[in-house]
Structure 1
């Protein structure tokens, strides 16, 4: 299992992380037993990084339930403070930090997370949304620092609300945080331009999410694929005519099987090629997904020229929030 140092310290985490959004019911319906078993299966296969959030429905509770059953080495546990912005507020467009995280809310949300997870300390607590205007207000950071001093959290991070990676540059360079989480995949490789190098220079952990572009980069999508009500992906792949999405995926077939056994492996290899990526979050709420994703870590990395070709000619940057929230 490949690992990376977290935030310039001495702690090692697996370069593939269990993205626990799928435990909240937004990626299909599964029984509670199936979801708990999926996390235990991933831990058993060597995964040591779990990322969840207050906003992910029952995810924190289910992670806590799995951890009570887990007898191995304690995994690195990350969660996110829930924003109080209602509906779309604060995601597609900025809101004042006082609206998203009023004074005292960071502590209250963290304490709820601690209870749901059944732990005394959360390794990484992240703001679930961040806007650069908030750097003018320091009370939110002071609240997180107090929680750190009390031992309730160990590291402080932010999760960016959408694909505008540059909004975090000043925060990364400030030395005030330990991690950044944002969208990074074959279609959107822009963090490589400046954000990932900045994180490397400042010993800030870089956590990649949407590695599979909500599953699309796994190659599962067809014109006939349907999604049940409540599934996060129900409108995602129809941002443009679905045929256009499938056409983009088909252009990646030239790299399979010579450089990857399947699309998921190609997506993971691409994201983990750069050493500045600390961990890549993927949905592993189905054991078969976990096995396929974890297997990619044992494979040879993409050759430099192939990585460069994908980076230059297969990007397709789209901001999902354009249609979801605007």
Structure 2
């Protein structure tokens, strides 16, 4: 696989923009200089959260200069009611100084949001209005995600997928249509459990970079997301991607390691 195909994705479900496949979230504290360093290295996919104060200013500046080359995703802070979904989108648009969001998500479906006729109608209205170009959900319930992948108007599914939790390969990916919804994988390190040696394991231990490569090596995963604490962590993760997809031996030991971590 050539580096262009490995590092970048163009998805009809996400507006056919050329997207660097490892997106950036700033909710773990990466400072502004780290965000700017990521931009300088080609990162153009940004996930806005409630705790990303250091990303807002560089992102606003970037959007003024090159809006059509960036993909910006954000969450509905209140995802149970139409008014909350609408208000959340409008606040993000104002805060970022842009007239549209590339992706708007209902977060943690079933816990902090719901997919009902009311919320679906509001999300579709936002997409039809042009304020939001694509709609999606983040979800841990794999069987439900499989149903949504098979039959829903969603453009993107944000799902847990990593070496310790590969269940999407059985419950979600077989139900996904070829071009929609796009898949954004998160929890790459299984909340750092994949970065620690489990009891009885005497083989290699995964790095964060390995975790992102595992996710992105799946032919069913379009994008992944990293939430580094600082610039150095981001640089390490980006450097790791230069190794390319996993080879068969790497995939074999990482899957075995993931099983050991999962227990």
| Shorter-chain TM-score range | 0.7 to 0.9
2:42 paired residue number: 46
Q: What stretches of structure 1 of length at least 5 have no aligned partner?
A: 24-33, 84-99, 220-245, 257-261, 319-326
Q: Distance in 2 between matches of 1:314 and 1:211?
A: 11
Regions of 4+ moved over 6 Å: none
Q: How does 1:206-285 map to 2 (within 5 A)?
A: 206-219=183-196, 246-247=197-198, 251=201, 254-255=203-204, 263-285=207-229
The normalised TM-score by structure 2 is 0.84
**1:147 positional shift:** 1.2
Q: Distance in 2 between matches of 1:81 and 1:283?
A: 19
2:9 aligned to which of 4, 9, 24: 4
Output one character per residue of 1:142-174: Cα deviation in whole Å (capped at 9) or x when no partner.
1111111221111000011x3x32221111111
Is 1:188 equivalent to 2:193 in the alignment? Answer: no
Question: 1: distance between equivalents of 2:164 and 2:157?
Answer: 19
- Given that residues 17 and 281 in structure 1 are in contact (C-alpha distance below 8 angstroms), is that contact kept between their aligned partners in structure 2? yes
CA distance in 1 between partners of 2:46 and 2:105 (Å): 13
Q: Larger radius of gyration, structure 1 or 2?
A: 1
Question: Partners in 2 of 1:309 and 1:7 — Cα distance?
Answer: 34
Tell me the SS of whatever aligns to 1:171.
helix
Match of 1:36 among 32, 37, 43: 32
Compared CA separation, residues 215 and 72, structure 1 to 2 (3 A): farther
Q: 1:209 to 1:37 in 2, by over 3 A?
A: same
Task: Indicate if the aligned counterparts of 2:31 and 2:231 stay in contact, CA closer than 8 A.
Answer: no
Shift of 1:131: 3.3
Deviations 1:212-233 (A, max 9, x none): 22334345xxxxxxxxxxxxxx
Aligned residue number for residue 303 of structure 1? 247
Distance change (3 Å), C-alpha of 1:202 and 1:317:
farther
d(CA) in 2 for partners of 1:66, 1:82: 22
- State the aligned residue count: 252
Partner of 2:72: 77
Q: 2:122 aligns with which of 130, 135, 143?
A: 143
User: Any stretches of 5+ residues in structure 2 without a counterpart?
Assistant: none
Question: Over the residues paired in the alignment, what is the CA RMSD in angstroms?
Answer: 2.7
Normalised to the residue count of structure 1, the TM-score between the two structures is 0.69
Question: Among 1, 14, 19, which residue is 2:25 paired with?
Answer: 19
**2: CA distance between counterparts of 1:295 and 1:177?**
32
**Contact persistence 2:81–2:118 (CA under 8 A):** no
Q: Which residue among 95, 108, 116 is the counterpart of 1:116?
A: 95
